Structure 1
């Protein structure tokens, strides 16, 4: 599986998310500043609520821009057996039920599922609990994370 193509898919999805966030911020800003939404009394808060929403959407758009910058600078490298799993690794984990899952360990801000042919690849960052647990592991190692009700355990099946 080509990590460069996965990176391009992440950037395309982030660009779509950015368009949506920018549009949502624009609409909320227009609502907040529209003359019909000027408060007539202290209980009339539609304009204020829209202003809060516009600010939140603007922060979301900025976070997406930062994620895009991280992913543009990201250069996935080949797996180094001396270092173990690092950011840029494509990892296949298998659980106790022999269910396999593929993960691309990327920079912050790109948590999403991608479909490449018949394969589903979950993109996670090294800051995510599972991402942290995978760092430095090797093929055949066990990876475990503490979930709310139970502890999840996986085996590293392969790394690219």
Structure 2
């Protein structure tokens, strides 16, 4: 599996998210400033609500821009068994039920599920609980997470 191809897919998805968020921000801003939405009394809050929404969407757009900058600068390297799993690692985990999953550990802001060839790959950051638990682990190590009802256990099968 090509890490650089995964990185490009993340950037493409973030670009799509940014376009949608910017459109939503423009629409909310237009609604907030439209002359028909000027408040006629204290209970007429459509314009105010749209302004809050526009502000939130603009903030989200800035977060996506920052994530895109982080992902553009990101250079996933080869796995070094001496250091264990680091940012940029592509990890194959097996759950207690035997099901395998592919994880790509990347910078913040890119959490998403991608398809590479015939395989699904979950992109996570090192800030995510599972991402933190994986850091420094090696092939054959066990990783456990305390979930709400039960503790989840995984085995690191392969790292690229």
> Does the TM-score normalized on the shorter chain lie above 0.5?
yes
Q: Which moved more, 1:46-55 or 1:146-155?
A: 146-155
TM-score by structure 1 length? 0.99
Q: Report the equivalent of 1:53.
A: 53
- For 2:21 and 2:147, the matched residues in 1 are separated by 31
- Mapped to 2, the partners of 1:24 and 1:4 lie a distance apart of 30
Aligned partner of 1:34 in structure 2 is 34
Separation of aligned partners in 1, 2:151 and 2:61: 34
What is the root-mean-square deviation in Å for CA atoms of aligned residues?
Answer: 0.4
Deviation at 1:106, TM superposition (A): 0.1
Q: In the comparison of the two structures, how many residue pairs are matched? A: 160
Distance 2:33 2:100 in 1: 51
Give ranges in structure 2 of 5+ residues lacking alignment: none
Q: What is residue 111 of structure 1 aligned with on the other side?
A: 111
Cα distance, 1:157 vs. partner? Answer: 0.3
TM-score, normalised to structure 2's length?
A: 0.99
Q: Which runs of 4+ in 1 moved over 3 A?
A: none
Partner deviation per Cα, 1:82-133 (whole Å, 9 max, x = no partner): 0000000000000111100000000000000000111000000000000000
Give the CA deviation at 1:6.
Answer: 0.3
Between stretches 86-95 and 143-152, larger displacement belongs to 143-152
Does residue 137 of structure 2 align to residue 137 of structure 1?
yes
